Amino acid sequence: MVGRSVVTLDDITTAQIQDLLLKARYIDTHRAQVSHTCDGRILATLFYEPSTRTRLSFETAMLRLGGNVIGFAGAQLSSVSKGESIGDTLKTVSNYVDVVAIRHPKEGAALVASQAASVPVINAGDGGHMHPTQTLADLATLKSRFGRVTDLTVGLCGDLTFGRTVHSLIETLCRFGNVHFVLVSPEELKTPQYVLDRIDETASCSYTEVKDLVSVIGDLDVLYMTRVQKERFFNEDDYLRLRDTYILDAEKLKLSKPSMAVLHPLPRVNEIAVDVDKDPRAAYFEQVRNGMLMRMALESTLVGDELPGYAAWANKEELV
Protein backbone atom coordinates (compact mmCIF):
# COMPACT_ATOMS: atom_id res chain seq x y z
CA MET A 1 0.00 0.00 0.00
CA VAL A 2 3.01 2.32 0.28
CA GLY A 3 2.63 5.35 -1.97
CA ARG A 4 -0.91 4.46 -3.05
CA SER A 5 -4.03 6.60 -2.81
CA VAL A 6 -7.27 5.46 -1.17
CA VAL A 7 -10.25 6.95 -2.99
CA THR A 8 -12.57 4.05 -2.19
CA LEU A 9 -11.94 0.93 -0.17
CA ASP A 10 -11.96 -0.96 -3.48
CA ASP A 11 -8.43 0.43 -3.81
CA ILE A 12 -7.27 -2.01 -1.12
CA THR A 13 -7.89 -5.71 -0.55
CA THR A 14 -9.88 -7.24 2.27
CA ALA A 15 -6.62 -8.71 3.61
CA GLN A 16 -5.15 -5.18 3.75
CA ILE A 17 -8.28 -3.94 5.53
CA GLN A 18 -7.86 -6.73 8.08
CA ASP A 19 -4.23 -5.68 8.55
CA LEU A 20 -5.29 -2.06 9.14
CA LEU A 21 -7.81 -3.27 11.75
CA LEU A 22 -5.04 -5.19 13.49
CA LYS A 23 -2.69 -2.19 13.31
CA ALA A 24 -5.34 0.03 14.89
CA ARG A 25 -5.68 -2.40 17.78
CA TYR A 26 -1.90 -2.44 18.21
CA ILE A 27 -1.72 1.36 18.14
CA ASP A 28 -4.42 1.62 20.80
CA THR A 29 -2.44 -0.53 23.24
CA HIS A 30 1.05 0.73 22.33
CA ARG A 31 0.63 4.52 22.22
CA ALA A 32 4.14 5.32 23.50
CA GLN A 33 5.85 2.90 21.14
CA VAL A 34 4.23 4.38 18.01
CA SER A 35 4.44 8.05 18.99
CA HIS A 36 7.47 8.73 16.75
CA THR A 37 6.51 6.49 13.83
CA CYS A 38 6.00 9.39 11.42
CA ASP A 39 8.59 11.86 12.72
CA GLY A 40 9.31 14.41 9.99
CA ARG A 41 6.22 13.58 7.95
CA ILE A 42 3.63 16.20 6.98
CA LEU A 43 -0.07 15.65 6.28
CA ALA A 44 -2.14 18.17 4.31
CA THR A 45 -5.85 18.33 5.14
CA LEU A 46 -7.61 20.00 2.19
CA PHE A 47 -11.21 20.35 3.30
CA TYR A 48 -13.41 22.15 0.79
CA GLU A 49 -16.48 21.75 3.00
CA PRO A 50 -17.05 21.98 6.77
CA SER A 51 -15.97 19.15 9.04
CA THR A 52 -15.20 18.72 12.71
CA ARG A 53 -14.60 15.05 13.48
CA THR A 54 -13.08 13.92 10.20
CA ARG A 55 -10.60 16.78 9.83
CA LEU A 56 -9.54 16.77 13.48
CA SER A 57 -9.30 12.99 13.41
CA PHE A 58 -6.93 13.00 10.42
CA GLU A 59 -4.85 15.73 12.00
CA THR A 60 -4.76 14.13 15.44
CA ALA A 61 -3.74 10.83 13.87
CA MET A 62 -0.66 12.35 12.26
CA LEU A 63 0.23 14.36 15.35
CA ARG A 64 0.00 11.26 17.55
CA LEU A 65 2.38 9.52 15.15
CA GLY A 66 4.91 12.33 15.55
CA GLY A 67 4.23 14.14 12.27
CA ASN A 68 2.89 17.60 11.47
CA VAL A 69 -0.13 19.03 9.66
CA ILE A 70 -0.90 21.84 7.22
CA GLY A 71 -4.06 22.64 5.28
CA PHE A 72 -7.32 24.56 5.17
CA ALA A 73 -10.82 24.04 6.54
CA GLY A 74 -12.99 25.65 3.88
CA ALA A 75 -12.82 26.45 0.16
CA GLN A 76 -12.99 30.17 0.95
CA LEU A 77 -9.66 29.83 2.76
CA SER A 78 -7.84 28.44 -0.29
CA SER A 79 -6.88 29.56 -3.79
CA VAL A 80 -9.99 27.85 -5.15
CA SER A 81 -11.66 31.17 -4.29
CA LYS A 82 -9.43 32.64 -7.00
CA GLY A 83 -10.39 29.96 -9.50
CA GLU A 84 -7.58 27.45 -8.99
CA SER A 85 -8.41 23.90 -10.05
CA ILE A 86 -8.20 20.87 -7.77
CA GLY A 87 -5.49 19.47 -10.03
CA ASP A 88 -3.27 22.52 -9.69
CA THR A 89 -3.83 22.67 -5.94
CA LEU A 90 -2.75 19.04 -5.56
CA LYS A 91 0.27 19.42 -7.83
CA THR A 92 1.36 22.33 -5.67
CA VAL A 93 0.66 20.78 -2.29
CA SER A 94 2.43 17.56 -3.29
CA ASN A 95 5.69 19.50 -3.15
CA TYR A 96 5.10 20.28 0.53
CA VAL A 97 3.76 17.11 2.11
CA ASP A 98 3.96 13.31 2.31
CA VAL A 99 0.23 12.54 2.25
CA VAL A 100 -3.04 14.42 1.60
CA ALA A 101 -6.53 14.01 3.05
CA ILE A 102 -9.17 15.74 0.92
CA ARG A 103 -12.88 16.38 1.46
CA HIS A 104 -14.95 17.91 -1.31
CA PRO A 105 -18.71 18.38 -1.94
CA LYS A 106 -18.49 17.04 -5.52
CA GLU A 107 -18.49 13.33 -6.34
CA GLY A 108 -15.28 12.27 -8.06
CA ALA A 109 -13.17 15.13 -6.69
CA ALA A 110 -10.97 12.75 -4.68
CA LEU A 111 -10.22 10.71 -7.79
CA VAL A 112 -9.23 13.85 -9.70
CA ALA A 113 -7.02 14.84 -6.77
CA SER A 114 -5.31 11.44 -6.65
CA GLN A 115 -4.56 11.57 -10.37
CA ALA A 116 -2.94 15.00 -10.05
CA ALA A 117 -0.96 14.40 -6.85
CA SER A 118 2.49 12.85 -6.61
CA VAL A 119 1.88 11.71 -3.01
CA PRO A 120 -0.83 9.43 -1.57
CA VAL A 121 -4.31 10.99 -1.38
CA ILE A 122 -6.95 9.78 1.08
CA ASN A 123 -10.59 10.50 0.30
CA ALA A 124 -12.13 12.11 3.40
CA GLY A 125 -15.54 12.25 1.70
CA ASP A 126 -16.59 13.32 -1.79
CA GLY A 127 -20.17 14.50 -2.05
CA GLY A 128 -22.69 11.67 -1.74
CA HIS A 129 -20.22 9.14 -3.14
CA MET A 130 -17.74 7.52 -0.75
CA HIS A 131 -16.18 8.01 2.68
CA PRO A 132 -13.67 5.15 3.03
CA THR A 133 -12.06 6.12 6.34
CA GLN A 134 -15.44 6.42 8.03
CA THR A 135 -16.11 2.89 6.85
CA LEU A 136 -12.80 1.77 8.38
CA ALA A 137 -13.99 3.30 11.67
CA ASP A 138 -17.30 1.47 11.29
CA LEU A 139 -15.57 -1.85 10.63
CA ALA A 140 -13.28 -1.37 13.63
CA THR A 141 -16.35 -0.74 15.81
CA LEU A 142 -18.11 -3.85 14.54
CA LYS A 143 -14.94 -5.86 15.12
CA SER A 144 -14.60 -4.60 18.69
CA ARG A 145 -18.28 -5.20 19.47
CA PHE A 146 -18.82 -8.57 17.77
CA GLY A 147 -15.36 -9.91 17.01
CA ARG A 148 -16.33 -10.09 13.33
CA VAL A 149 -17.72 -8.06 10.42
CA THR A 150 -19.71 -10.92 8.87
CA ASP A 151 -22.79 -12.96 9.86
CA LEU A 152 -24.64 -9.85 10.96
CA THR A 153 -28.04 -8.25 10.35
CA VAL A 154 -27.26 -4.59 9.74
CA GLY A 155 -30.00 -1.97 9.74
CA LEU A 156 -29.30 1.35 8.05
CA CYS A 157 -31.79 4.08 8.82
CA GLY A 158 -32.54 7.60 7.57
CA ASP A 159 -30.96 9.22 4.52
CA LEU A 160 -29.94 6.29 2.36
CA THR A 161 -29.94 8.29 -0.89
CA PHE A 162 -27.25 10.87 -0.14
CA GLY A 163 -25.50 9.14 2.76
CA ARG A 164 -21.98 8.42 1.49
CA THR A 165 -21.14 6.62 4.73
CA VAL A 166 -24.00 4.20 4.09
CA HIS A 167 -22.89 3.53 0.52
CA SER A 168 -19.30 2.90 1.57
CA LEU A 169 -20.29 0.57 4.41
CA ILE A 170 -22.64 -1.52 2.28
CA GLU A 171 -20.06 -1.82 -0.49
CA THR A 172 -17.34 -2.97 1.89
CA LEU A 173 -19.46 -5.35 3.95
CA CYS A 174 -20.51 -7.01 0.68
CA ARG A 175 -16.84 -7.72 0.00
CA PHE A 176 -16.59 -9.62 3.28
CA GLY A 177 -19.98 -11.27 2.72
CA ASN A 178 -22.67 -12.94 4.85
CA VAL A 179 -24.58 -9.80 5.81
CA HIS A 180 -28.31 -9.10 5.66
CA PHE A 181 -29.10 -5.41 5.23
CA VAL A 182 -32.34 -3.90 6.49
CA LEU A 183 -32.76 -0.57 4.69
CA VAL A 184 -35.06 1.78 6.61
CA SER A 185 -36.01 5.05 4.91
CA PRO A 186 -38.85 7.17 3.56
CA GLU A 187 -39.66 6.77 -0.13
CA GLU A 188 -37.81 9.98 -1.00
CA LEU A 189 -34.53 8.84 0.60
CA LYS A 190 -34.32 5.22 -0.55
CA THR A 191 -31.05 3.43 -1.30
CA PRO A 192 -29.80 4.11 -4.86
CA GLN A 193 -30.24 1.28 -7.34
CA TYR A 194 -26.49 0.88 -7.93
CA VAL A 195 -26.03 0.13 -4.22
CA LEU A 196 -28.87 -2.42 -4.28
CA ASP A 197 -27.28 -3.98 -7.36
CA ARG A 198 -24.04 -4.38 -5.42
CA ILE A 199 -25.87 -6.34 -2.71
CA ASP A 200 -27.61 -8.48 -5.35
CA GLU A 201 -24.26 -9.29 -6.94
CA THR A 202 -23.05 -10.82 -3.66
CA ALA A 203 -24.52 -14.30 -3.27
CA SER A 204 -24.11 -14.38 0.52
CA CYS A 205 -25.72 -10.94 1.08
CA SER A 206 -29.34 -9.85 0.93
CA TYR A 207 -31.53 -6.87 1.77
CA THR A 208 -35.00 -5.82 2.86
CA GLU A 209 -36.43 -2.32 2.33
CA VAL A 210 -38.89 -1.01 4.93
CA LYS A 211 -40.27 2.35 6.05
CA ASP A 212 -40.93 1.54 9.73
CA LEU A 213 -37.96 1.26 12.11
CA VAL A 214 -39.98 -0.08 15.06
CA SER A 215 -41.15 -3.10 13.06
CA VAL A 216 -37.59 -4.36 12.47
CA ILE A 217 -35.43 -3.02 15.31
CA GLY A 218 -35.75 -6.26 17.29
CA ASP A 219 -34.14 -8.24 14.44
CA LEU A 220 -30.99 -6.14 14.16
CA ASP A 221 -27.45 -6.78 15.37
CA VAL A 222 -26.44 -3.30 14.23
CA LEU A 223 -28.47 -0.12 13.77
CA TYR A 224 -26.64 2.48 11.71
CA MET A 225 -28.43 5.80 12.08
CA THR A 226 -27.86 8.72 9.70
CA ARG A 227 -28.95 12.33 9.69
CA VAL A 228 -31.00 13.88 6.93
CA GLN A 229 -28.38 16.19 5.45
CA LYS A 230 -29.62 19.71 4.73
CA GLU A 231 -26.63 20.42 2.47
CA ARG A 232 -27.71 17.66 0.05
CA PHE A 233 -31.16 19.20 -0.59
CA PHE A 234 -32.06 21.79 -3.20
CA ASN A 235 -35.48 22.35 -1.66
CA GLU A 236 -35.56 23.38 2.01
CA ASP A 237 -39.23 22.39 2.33
CA ASP A 238 -38.31 18.79 1.47
CA TYR A 239 -35.54 18.87 4.07
CA LEU A 240 -37.82 20.21 6.81
CA ARG A 241 -40.48 17.61 5.99
CA LEU A 242 -38.10 14.63 6.13
CA ARG A 243 -35.54 15.50 8.79
CA ASP A 244 -37.55 14.17 11.74
CA THR A 245 -38.84 11.02 10.03
CA TYR A 246 -36.77 8.69 12.23
CA ILE A 247 -35.73 9.45 15.79
CA LEU A 248 -34.17 6.75 17.97
CA ASP A 249 -34.98 7.18 21.66
CA ALA A 250 -34.83 5.07 24.81
CA GLU A 251 -38.35 3.72 24.28
CA LYS A 252 -37.61 2.37 20.80
CA LEU A 253 -34.29 0.99 22.06
CA LYS A 254 -36.15 -1.22 24.55
CA LEU A 255 -37.41 -3.23 21.57
CA SER A 256 -33.89 -4.14 20.44
CA LYS A 257 -31.49 -6.92 21.41
CA PRO A 258 -29.33 -6.21 24.50
CA SER A 259 -26.27 -6.83 22.29
CA MET A 260 -27.30 -4.53 19.44
CA ALA A 261 -24.81 -1.79 18.57
CA VAL A 262 -26.04 1.68 17.58
CA LEU A 263 -23.68 3.41 15.15
CA HIS A 264 -23.81 6.90 13.66
CA PRO A 265 -21.19 8.70 11.54
CA LEU A 266 -21.99 11.99 13.31
CA PRO A 267 -22.77 14.83 13.55
CA ARG A 268 -26.28 14.08 14.75
CA VAL A 269 -29.07 16.61 14.79
CA ASN A 270 -31.95 14.98 16.61
CA GLU A 271 -32.14 11.52 15.03
CA ILE A 272 -30.70 9.96 18.20
CA ALA A 273 -32.09 11.29 21.48
CA VAL A 274 -29.54 12.22 24.13
CA ASP A 275 -31.08 9.66 26.50
CA VAL A 276 -29.61 6.91 24.29
CA ASP A 277 -26.02 8.04 24.94
CA LYS A 278 -25.68 6.24 28.27
CA ASP A 279 -27.10 2.97 26.98
CA PRO A 280 -24.43 0.28 26.51
CA ARG A 281 -25.72 -0.27 22.98
CA ALA A 282 -24.62 3.25 21.98
CA ALA A 283 -21.37 2.85 20.03
CA TYR A 284 -21.15 6.12 18.09
CA PHE A 285 -18.60 7.87 20.30
CA GLU A 286 -16.60 4.65 20.26
CA GLN A 287 -16.66 5.02 16.46
CA VAL A 288 -14.98 8.43 16.79
CA ARG A 289 -12.09 6.92 18.72
CA ASN A 290 -11.80 4.03 16.30
CA GLY A 291 -11.73 6.49 13.42
CA MET A 292 -8.62 8.16 14.80
CA LEU A 293 -6.91 4.80 15.33
CA MET A 294 -7.74 3.60 11.82
CA ARG A 295 -6.46 6.84 10.32
CA MET A 296 -3.22 6.43 12.27
CA ALA A 297 -2.90 2.95 10.80
CA LEU A 298 -3.69 4.15 7.29
CA GLU A 299 -1.47 7.25 7.27
CA SER A 300 1.58 5.39 8.58
CA THR A 301 1.02 2.57 6.07
CA LEU A 302 0.67 4.82 3.01
CA VAL A 303 3.85 6.77 3.76
CA GLY A 304 5.73 3.53 4.43
CA ASP A 305 6.59 4.04 8.11
CA GLU A 306 6.55 0.79 10.10
CA LEU A 307 4.98 0.81 13.54
CA PRO A 308 7.77 -0.14 16.00
CA GLY A 309 7.14 -3.60 17.41
CA TYR A 310 4.07 -4.27 15.29
CA ALA A 311 5.42 -7.11 13.11
CA ALA A 312 6.44 -9.27 16.09
CA TRP A 313 3.18 -8.52 17.90
CA ALA A 314 1.09 -9.36 14.83
CA ASN A 315 2.89 -12.68 14.39
CA LYS A 316 2.04 -13.61 17.98
CA GLU A 317 -1.60 -12.60 17.44
CA GLU A 318 -1.82 -14.97 14.46
CA LEU A 319 -0.59 -17.84 16.62
CA VAL A 320 -3.27 -17.30 19.28
The verdict on whether omega for the bond into residue 267 sits within 30 degrees of 0, i.e. cis, is yes
227 belongs to an annotated ligand binding site: yes
The answer to whether the CB of 156 falls within 8 A of the CB of 132 is: no
- Beta bridge mates, 262: 223, 282
Q: Helix, strand, or coil here: 116? A: helix
In the three-class reduction of DSSP (H, G, I as helix; E, B as strand; rest coil), residue 93 is classed as helix
Residue by residue, DSSP assigns 140-152 as: HHHHHHHS-SSSE
Confirm or deny that 131 is annotated as ligand binding: yes
Is 134 annotated in a binding site? The answer is yes
DSSP, res 258? T
Q: 54 among the known binding-site residues?
A: yes
**What is the rounded distance in angstroms from the CA atom of residue 37 to the CA atom of residue 64?**
9
The CA R_g of the chain, rounded to the nearest whole Å, is: 19
On whether 103 is known to bind a ligand per the annotation, the reply is yes
Is 266 annotated in a binding site? The answer is: yes
278 vs 274: CA distance, rounded Å: 8
Query: Which residues make up each annotated binding site for carbamoyl phosphate?
Result: 53-54, 103, 131, 134, 266-267
| Residues of each annotated binding site | 53-54, 82, 103, 131, 134, 164, 227, 266-267
Residues making up the annotated binding site for L-aspartate are 82, 164, 227
